[in-house]
Chain A
């Protein structure tokens, strides 16, 4: 029973990883940019939500309505102002620019919010659970998993069936040919980043509700998100969902063997996938 429980808890944890990772996956899928500022943006979103609750006393979940649009706008500006320019100088430049952003972002958060750990309060929800025979499922973890699946399905439908989604995929295939269709490549990239950072904002607020965070917590977020993306297969959103779940299960099953081995087991699964299936479990599904 302990093992079944470990797998179940892993799937729930995996929902959080998938939600954190899908923005990273989308930005890589459309622009081939590895955004190293991903984790810091998630943590900044958590701080913004935390600050809003402190300042206004608004319900924690309501902050999402403010944090998502604000971060999406930040994403648009980062793409338009920095990444688009960096892309002209080759593939390495955006990576370096995003690394710089990550360093600056973490230090700014430390300046503004100090290095103290914070958590966004969600009251009883953080401890409430439903019983399933001998198993207990945390309600908040379950909500996170459902939200993660909904976000990924939503993104996939958006890319497949809308005018802008099609234009994004076309731009990904051939940016110059896309401009011949009347598509402004720079605007399209910025929209993709805005959507991706919007999902990061959502994931960041959920993260801040589930765990203690500090300005440097983004490093860990980036590593887990990156592992989820690689395990699932670069550029595939379904793959990212699967990758998040696999990573979550690996960590909880590892922790079941010995509580100290949880994170290590996740890294080992990541390494094994890199060694034996470098293209990931579900490479190039619909997006790529």
Chain B
């Protein structure tokens, strides 16, 4: 498998606060990687940096074989990186269908269009004329993912899909993920929900306070290992690290 995304030892800081310390991560074309970790572990920062909303102070991001570290966010979308951001950020005064159409602003060719998005999320077709301001959390999340797909990304970044949603709604949304992967889209999910992350992902990488603490195939890592890494507990000795 060829490497699609290579994050090479990036540091990211908000002012004096360093959110990421030398994070390295690779995603192969066609695979689904889950980045997990507790609140404040730097997951959202990582996705924002890959999407171009934040600039790394050190290190490099390579996408599809070339360095995109200095490419502005709006051009990264045209190269094939799409992010469904934390908080969904649906355009409130636009209808669901208009939100989706804005997603296709860059006019990248590919398998996704209004028809295929509605097939993947039938709910959105029913809601097409409703304004973003009047959507429930789950409806917003489905719209946000559909909107990101409309840009026909090679790499889809999903930030905290499950945050604040009812389990039924989360299951509904995760049911669409295999369809997305089948169409050749590589997916990087960030999750706090371990069960969902381990079910959909081929590989998992766990962050703690801006550093990678565990990495492996989703089928091979044990729940105990993940939990230990997640909470910063040293798995072999069972006491708190740091």
Contacts and interface: CB of A to CB of B under 8 A. Distances in A.
Contact of B93 (A173, A177, A183, A185): A173
- Return the 9 tightest CB-CB contacts between A and B, nearest first: A182-B106, A182-B77, A177-B89, A173-B91, A179-B73, A170-B102, A179-B74, A170-B91, A184-B74
Dominant SS among interface residues on chain A? helix
Contacts of A277: none
A163 B105 CA distance: 7
A181 interface: yes
A38 interface: no
Contact of A170 (B74, B83, B94): B94
Contact of A178 (B82, B102, B132): B102
Contacts of B148: 180
B146 interface: no
Given A170-B102, A176-B53, A177-B85, A182 B74 contact: yes
Contacts, number: 73
Given A172-B93, A288-B93, 15 more contacts: A163-B101, A166-B101, A170-B94, A170-B102, A173-B91, A173-B92, A173-B93, A177-B90, A177-B91, A178-B102, A179-B72, A180-B74, A182-B78, A182-B105, A184-B72
B77 A180 contact: yes
Contacts of B90: 177
A241 interface: no
A176 B91 contact: no
A187 to B, nearest CB: 9
16 contacts: A163-B105, A167-B105, A169-B91, A169-B94, A170-B94, A174-B92, A176-B53, A178-B91, A179-B73, A179-B77, A180-B83, A180-B85, A181-B102, A182-B77, A182-B106, A185-B74
Nearest to B84: A180
Contacts of A172: 93
Interface residues of A, number: 19
Most chain A CB atoms below 10 A, which of B51, B91, B94, B106: B91
A67 B103 CA distance: 35
A178 B75 CA distance: 12
Contacts of B91: 169-170, 173-174, 177-178
Nearest to A177: B89
B29 interface: no
Nearest to A172: B93
B55 interface: no
Contacts of A167: 102, 105
Nearest to B77: A182
A183 B82 contact: no
Interface in B121-157: 132, 147-148, 151
Contacts of B72: 179, 184
A169 B93 CA distance: 8
A176 to B, nearest CB: 7
Given A173-B93, A174-B89, A176-B53, A181 B77 contact: yes
B64 interface: no
Interface string A176-200: 1111111111000000000000000
Contacts of A182: 74-75, 77-78, 105-106, 151
B151 A181 contact: yes
Nearest to A165: B98
Contact of A183 (B74, B83, B85): B74
A3 to B, nearest CB: 40
A156 to B, nearest CB: 14
B106 A166 contact: no
Contacts of A170: 91, 94, 98-99, 102
A180 B87 CA distance: 13
Nearest to A174: B89
Contacts of A174: 89, 91-92
A266 B147 CA distance: 46
B132 to A, nearest CB: 8
B30 to A, nearest CB: 23
A184 B75 CA distance: 8
B85 to A, nearest CB: 6
Contacts of B101: 163, 166
Contacts of B105: 163, 166-167, 181-183
Contact of B73 (A163, A169, A180): A180
Which of B72, B78, B105, B147 has the most CB atoms of chain A within a 10 A radius of its CB? B105
A178 B94 CA distance: 12
Contact of B89 (A163, A176, A184): A176
B100 to A, nearest CB: 10
Contacts of B82: 180
A171 to B, nearest CB: 9
Nearest to A287: B93
